[in-house]
Structure 1
Amino acid sequence: MIWLPLGFFLTALLYASVGFGGGSTYSALLALVGFDYRLLPIVSLCCNVVVVTGSTLRFARAGEMPWRGALILSLLAAPLAFLGGLTPIREEAFLALLGMSLIAAGLALFLPRAPQAAATPTRAARHMGWAAAPLGYLAGLVGIGGGVFLAPLLHLTRWNGARRIAATASLFILINSLAGLVGQLTKNGAGRFAEALTGALPLLVAVVIGGQLGSLLALRILPERVIRWLTAALTIWAGSRLLLG
């Protein structure tokens, strides 16, 4: 199973380089190796928290975090992420929903990006809170952060400049991953936390290293567009494998 930490490392590197956590693909990789689907979101959300905490701190130190807007979106979604984590779901429904989410997320990465400098927002940009809440529920339900869905919507509506959207996505993923994790632990019991993370230490180490390299180095080596395409390809492949069995 040596390829699994490598897959987590690659996922963290690619996703961190474009401001995401990678929770959706962590979940898919774990599902593909037959990991208990009830424990799977706990591992994925913990990995998400590890990756995006560093990204959020770096964006904040650089003065790129639009705190008011980012907190509004994140805090609107967080209660729904908690409820999503609490919601019981059958394995077949979980895997189908996760697979469809992955394919949708991969396709969303191909959507146009906002310019680096903030252009005039569209009228829809003022109503992004309505989109944030259901994304929070999906995040908690299947063990993702939801930022991979939110960011394309923010770009399409020119909600802010590209760097500030990436910063917002990082904070959104961090807060919703924590809320979803609390919901998952409330549903499954604290004992499941230790069970889920038993043997997952190599995966956490892999995402720590991959996340740091992704956020610090990857954008200097490859153009952002190429990284997004690679991330999209990985995400769509994982989703297709889940749906096709």
Structure 2
Amino acid sequence: MPLVGLAGLFFATALAYSMVGFGGGSTYTALLVLAGTDFGILPAISLACNITVVAGSTVRFARAGLIRWRRLAGLCAFSIPLAWFGGLVDVPERMFVTLLGLALLASAIALVVRPAVSAGPPIRWRRGSEPLLGGATGFLAGLVGIGGGIFLAPILHLTRWGTAREIAAAAAFFILVNSLAGIAGHAQRLTSHGELSALLAYWPLLPAVFVGGQIGVWIGRDKASDDWLIRLTALLVLFVALRLLARAAGF
């Protein structure tokens, strides 16, 4: 796939995902896999695009007063070092795609059943569970080269952690810090393999996702309803999950 066409798809991905507080890393990964990108550098490209999108999103959400900093501290305490550690781990390509697809499918199912769950009492956090949840999510995110917000957001919706916009803001910040930690681990791994310079050829993807992300977060913050944001999140996660699992199965 020509780089110009790939940049256009990345722009559309960033626009759609940033509306719900995501960076789009899971779909960037799927697109790069389909484009035949070298598997060794693929996670680092996705993480760099993630950072470009959610850095701007985090600033916009913070200015709107939507980020709950104290509660996020618990989620991020273990996620940051474990995202870095996950980025150091070499994973076989098929296992990589399968892990990502299964995790996203579980997230999509959680969002689909959310209306039934919402009819009853919310799922309650146990004391000390937020750091454990953040750590597990951070490690998985670092391992597969995404920020982890796409795993975290469905759980936050199910527990009614906050409003849809507050959850979008939390996901954006969570993705930002984990993507920074994850890319540090991947850069360390690529440097040891002498492959870091191969990333430079993909620089046009960064301005594409920056512009798409800025448009998307403006729509999500100011124009979209909470229910619409949740439905869009579920559809995006389900689409990517099925596409990755089909790829892992050889279709």
CA contact (8 A) 1:99 1:239 kept: yes
- Of 61, 64, 75 in structure 2, the residue corresponding to residue 62 of structure 1 is 64
- Of 145, 151, 154 in structure 1, the residue corresponding to residue 153 of structure 2 is 151
Q: How does 1:1-245 map to 2 (within 5 A)?
A: 1=1, 2-112=4-114, 122-124=123-125, 126=127, 127-189=129-191, 192-198=195-201, 200-217=202-219, 220=223, 223-225=228-230, 227-245=232-250
3-state DSSP of counterpart to 2:248: helix
Query: CA offsets, 1:73-118, max 9 Å, x none?
Result: 12320111011001122222222223323433444443538xxxxx
Indicate the percent of aligned positions where both proteins have the same amino acid. 46
Question: Cα offset for 1:213?
Answer: 1.2
Which is worse superposed, 3-12 or 103-112? 103-112
- The one-letter code of the counterpart of 1:86 is L
What is the distance in 1 between the residues matched to 2:76 and 2:18?
18
Could you list the runs of 4 or more consecutive aligned residues of structure 1 that deviate by over 4 angstroms after TM superposition? none
What is the distance in 2 between the residues matched to 1:104 and 1:96?
12
Distance change (3 Å), C-alpha of 1:3 and 1:241: farther
| Paired position in structure 2 for 1:116 | none
The gaps in structure 1 that reach 5 residues or longer are 114-119
Question: Cα offset for 1:230?
Answer: 4.4
What is the distance in 1 between the residues matched to 2:126 and 2:32?
35
Question: Cα offset for 1:169?
Answer: 1.0
- The one-letter code of the counterpart of 1:129 is P
Query: CA offsets, 1:41-60, max 9 Å, x none?
Result: 00000000011111110111
Query: CA offsets, 1:93-144, max 9 Å, x none?
Result: 222223323433444443538xxxxxx9753264222211111011111101
3-state DSSP of counterpart to 2:204: helix
RMSD: 2.3
What is the distance in 1 between the residues matched to 2:157 and 2:126?
9
| Paired position in structure 1 for 2:118 | none
CA contact (8 A) 2:98 2:245 kept: no
3-state DSSP of counterpart to 2:22: coil
- The one-letter code of the counterpart of 1:224 is L
What is the distance in 1 between the residues matched to 2:73 and 2:234?
29
CA contact (8 A) 1:14 1:230 kept: no
Question: Cα offset for 1:202?
Answer: 2.2
What is the distance in 2 between the residues matched to 1:77 and 1:224?
25
Question: Cα offset for 1:221?
Answer: 6.8
Question: Cα offset for 1:233?
Answer: 4.8
CA contact (8 A) 1:28 1:98 kept: no
3-state DSSP of counterpart to 2:96: helix
What is the distance in 2 between the residues matched to 1:100 and 1:195?
29
TM-score (norm 1): 0.87
CA contact (8 A) 1:84 1:141 kept: yes
